[in-house]
Structure 1
Amino acid sequence: MSTKQKTNLALLGLLSWKPMSGYDIKKLVDIGLSHFWNENYGQIYPTLNRLVEDGYAKKKVDSSSGKRKRNIYSITKKGEDKFRDWISLPSSPPSVRNELQLKFFLSGKLPVATSRKIIRAYRQQQKAVLDEYMDSEKILREAIANDAYPEEVRQIFEGQPEPLNRKKRAKQCGVFMLTLRHGILAIEGRLKWCDEVMEYLGR
């Protein structure tokens, strides 16, 4: 599946939650998806317009009092069917293009100090990301337990077609947290690998 097709389906999936503007979608990507999925802001509006042209979404102008006019996009029945067909299919394997692994592989003929420097820098970077993810996980766990969600999560809940009761809010936020857990476990594996490499290289 091409990158363009994946972008189409990703935006359809977000619109299946609630109607949004292009800016709303970009903000949601930055808040909730950026650790595993990213979209170029310049591609969001052309993609939304293409979805409208193909009948997968519809557009209306929001000229609410006190607000600048903006286009609000919502998913159509055709778009819902397209999204549901796609989400039930097996996912493509992650694309492999890892600069760290490439550098480490190519450092094999260089002084050991070079390899160690590469791994130390990578470990430091990954540890910083892990700390950030762990903080976010703690916030989400507390939010689910107390039904008290941070502003960025409440923004996702607001405007959905069906009001969410406590159980549905907890379920949706739980999915957010478990997605984050995937990232946490992946980073913990990378840190373990870094430690093995440093031990092999004699630190």
Structure 2
Amino acid sequence: MKNQSKTKFVILGLLTIKPLSGYGIKSIISKSIDHFWSESNGQIYPTLKLLLKEKLISLKKREAIGKKYRNIYSITKEGFEELKKWLNKPYEKNTHRDESLLKLFFGSTLSIEEAIDHIKKRKKRTDEKLKNYHLIKKELEKRKNLPHHIYWLITLNNGFAIANAEINWCKESIKILEGHKK
């Protein structure tokens, strides 16, 4: 399964929650898994077509506001089995690319002040992420009765742990750099 797009499994997984439109899938991604997994909008619709062709999802047209129709997708039994098969396979090595760290790695070409400013901006972005995680957690509290709740909570807790570690790293890095000012 090396180099295979995981978009297929993101969609199948989301459809185990409830039937969704393509827009609904994009919306849930941005409100739930986007802190650890991103999908481009350009991948979702072609993957939906592929999943239909493979009979892993089914399609129902539903009238929306006005004369427009919205496609609503549901996972099929075959789709559920495909998802379960993938969930039980070992995961591939995570690839981590961080432009901010790459720039800091070559930070000796910057002034200490410029490097500190870079880290302060990173910390500010991480503070914003942390605020967003708190909002997500409030929403999760309303969904304690759902079977997915505990799994959503543990992935969110991972986001909290990483964000808090990142904030601590930023503070420590700023102290280190300030100690090297001449």
Report the counterpart of residue 24 of structure 1 in structure 2.
24
- Runs (4 or more) in structure 1 with deviation over 4 Å come to 64-67
Query: TM-score if structure 1 supplies the norm length?
Result: 0.77
- Tell me the distance in 2 between the aligned counterparts of 1:84 and 1:176: 17
For residues 98-151 of structure 1, the C-alpha deviation after alignment (integer angstroms, 9 at most, x for no partner) is: 0110110111243222221211111122112212223432x147x3xxxxx2xx
What one-letter code is carried by the residue in structure 2 that aligns with 1:188? N
1:94 aligns with 2:113: no
Amino acid across the alignment from 1:190 = E
Task: Kindly state the Cα deviation for residue 64 of structure 1 after the two structures are TM-superposed.
Answer: 7.4
Match of residue 183 from structure 1: 159
Q: CA RMSD in A?
A: 2.3
* Unaligned ranges ≥5, structure 1: 144-148, 154-166
2:36 is equivalent to residue 36 of structure 1: yes
What is the percent sequence identity of the aligned residues?
A: 31
Which residue is 1:201 aligned to?
A: 177
Distance in 2, Cα, partners of 1:91 & 1:130: 26
Give me the whole-angstrom Cα distance separating, in 1, the residues matched to 2:9 and 2:36.
15
Give the 5 Å matches for 1:1-203: 1-2=2-3, 5-63=5-63, 68-137=68-137, 139-140=138-139, 143=141, 149=142, 168-169=145-146, 171-202=147-178
Report the Cα distance in structure 1 between the residues aligned to 2:174 and 2:122, rounded to whole angstroms: 12
More helix by share: 1
Change (3 A) 1:110 1:177: same
**Would you say how many aligned residue pairs link Structure 1 and Structure 2?**
178
Distance 2:74 2:9 in 1: 13
TM norm structure 2: 0.85
1:45 is displaced (CA, Å) by 1.5
Unaligned runs of 5+ in 2: none
